């Protein structure tokens, strides 16, 4: 073989080998990220630590200490544990904390790889003291609810409608009902808002704290800004296909912005300016898309899901005004 052909063959072989290795590494990483995002039992181990996914926030350690303490307190508070069956047959668990002489009912949806106690323990006493009976939902694929996968709101939006029907059957006093979500729970209730007439007349409003626009958008943000992975082209396509195989929806199949165009109930959007996990720009996009009456609370200096602990007085004042304005609107 001609010497130049031999050199070309070696170079070509090297390029192909490098491409194959890069492709294998990219596939492994994509599979790992989708597993962490959706699989109940995925063990991320030391490969991708939590702080890499959520972003480097110096306030996180103190917040988690407060959050865990308040979670333990809420979870030890007497509640009625309830179970329902989702439309696809999965068992869903909730915890109903009744308030004497309640003024309203709240369906509270927690976030990704979290729990009802962790996301709502801090605000639970305020809700109770404000006359709110609260159904704290355990999202599918997490904790005591069934399911092998989380759905980033794509599947949970239908579960939310099931819980609305459960509340409707028991709301004999016809109290106003609100949906309240934090992080992925926020995306859940915002996606559920697209159901339109199914929310009327029971739901008087939605409280959406630090929600994203779509699974694809938040995955892209985390991959590129926190993990420094170029999330585009075939990597994005592979992730989307993996998502469809697990939960029958692609990460681009539905979004909060699509739902909010159809929304018929008032929405209070809340977000902290220092959120490194879900950027505040996503709430701005959701707010812009919302066709219903809407309000926006921006909390300076607050990280992800930290708006209440960062400015408790403003947060409580804003919720009280929201309830005052919409409790009697139906």
Per-residue pLDDT reduced to its tens digit, 85-140? 999 999 999 999 999 999 999 999 999 999 999 999 999 999 999 999 999 999 99
On whether residue 133 sits in a domain, the answer given is yes
On whether residue 129 sits in a domain, the answer given is yes
Could you list the residue range(s) of the whole structural domain that residue 284 is in?
51-214+254-326
Model pLDDT for residues 172-182, shown as the tens digit of each residue: 899 999 999 99
Q: Provide the pLDDT confidence category of residue 273 given band limits of 50, 70 and 90.
A: very high
On whether residue 14 sits in a domain, the answer given is no
How far is residue 57's CA from residue 151's CA, in Å, rounded to a whole number?
25
- CATH classification of the domain holding 128: 3.40.50.1820
Q: Looking at residue 43, what is its pLDDT?
A: 64
Mean pLDDT calculated for residue range 237-259: 94
In terms of pTM, does the model score above 0.75? Answer: yes
Model pLDDT for residues 20-57, shown as the tens digit of each residue: 333 444 555 778 888 999 999 976 554 555 555 665 66
Task: State how many domains the chain has.
Answer: 1
Mean pLDDT calculated for residue range 68-79: 96
Mean pLDDT calculated for residue range 162-170: 95
């Amino acid at each position: 073989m001609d010497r130049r052909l031999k050199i070309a063959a070696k170079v070509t072989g090297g390029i192909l080998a490098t491409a194959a290795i890069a492709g294998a590494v990219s596939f492994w990483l994509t599979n790992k990220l989708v597993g962490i995002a959706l699989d109940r039992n995925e063990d991320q181990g030391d490969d991708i630590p939590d702080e890499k996914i959520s972003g480097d926030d110096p306030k996180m350690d103190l917040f988690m200490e407060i959050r865990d303490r308040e979670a333990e307190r809420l979870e030890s508070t007497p509640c009625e544990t309830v179970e329902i069956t989702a439309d696809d047959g999965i068992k869903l668990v909730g915890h109903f904390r009744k308030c004497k002489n309640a003024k309203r009912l709240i369906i509270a949806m927690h976030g990704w790889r979290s729990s009802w106690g962790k996301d709502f323990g801090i605000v639970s006493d305020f809700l109770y003291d404000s006359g709110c009976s609260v159904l704290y939902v355990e999202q599918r694929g997490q904790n005591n609810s069934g399911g092998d996968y989380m759905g980033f709101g794509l599947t949970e939006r239908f579960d939310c409608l099931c819980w609305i029907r459960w509340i409707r059957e028991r709301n004999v006093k016809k109290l106003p009902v609100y949906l309240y979500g934090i992080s992925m729970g926020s995306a859940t209730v915002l996606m559920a808002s697209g159901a339109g007439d199914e929310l009327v007349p029971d739901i008087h409003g939605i409280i959406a704290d630090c929600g994203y626009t779509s699974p694809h958008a938040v995955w892209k943000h985390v991959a590129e800004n926190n993990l420094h992975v170029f999330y585009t082209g075939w990597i994005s396509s592979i992730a989307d296909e993996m998502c469809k195989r697990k939960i029958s929806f692609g990460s681009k199949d539905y979004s909060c912005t699509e739902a909010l165009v159809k929304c018929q109930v008032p929405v209070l959007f809340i977000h902290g300016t220092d959120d490194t996990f879900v950027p505040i720009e996503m709430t701005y996009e959701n707010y812009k898309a919302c066709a219903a009456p809407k309000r926006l609370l921006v909390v300076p200096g607050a990280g992800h899901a930290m708006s209440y602990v960062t400015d408790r007085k403003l947060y409580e004042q804003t919720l009280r005004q929201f309830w005052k304005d919409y409790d009697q609107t139906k």
